Amino acid sequence: MGLDDKIKNKAEEASGKIKEGAGKATDDRDFEAEGKGEQAKSNLKQAGEKVKDAFKS
């Protein structure tokens, strides 16, 4: 994975944190859950990148 993908994943994670926080602030559980889902998706992608990077070394 390239640097662009890593940046996109971090941006997706940040977006998820913002949505989660906004959901908590407005008591919107669906929006909060959506944010948590985005964070989980991003974390899985980042974990996959780390595995690929480990095999490249």
Residue 53 pLDDT = 84
pLDDT at 1 over 60: no
Residue 18 pLDDT = 97
**pLDDT (tens digit, 9 = 90+) per residue, 39-56?**
999 999 999 888 888 888
**pLDDT (tens digit, 9 = 90+) per residue, 16-31?**
999 999 999 999 999 9
> Can you tell me the distance from the alpha carbon of 8 to that of 36, in angstroms, rounded to the nearest whole number?
17
Residue 5 pLDDT = 85
Cβ-contact 52, 6 below 8 angstroms: no
Using a pLDDT cut of 90, give the percent of the chain over it.
72
> Can you tell me the distance from the alpha carbon of 36 to that of 42, in angstroms, rounded to the nearest whole number?
10
> Can you tell me the distance from the alpha carbon of 57 to that of 38, in angstroms, rounded to the nearest whole number?
29
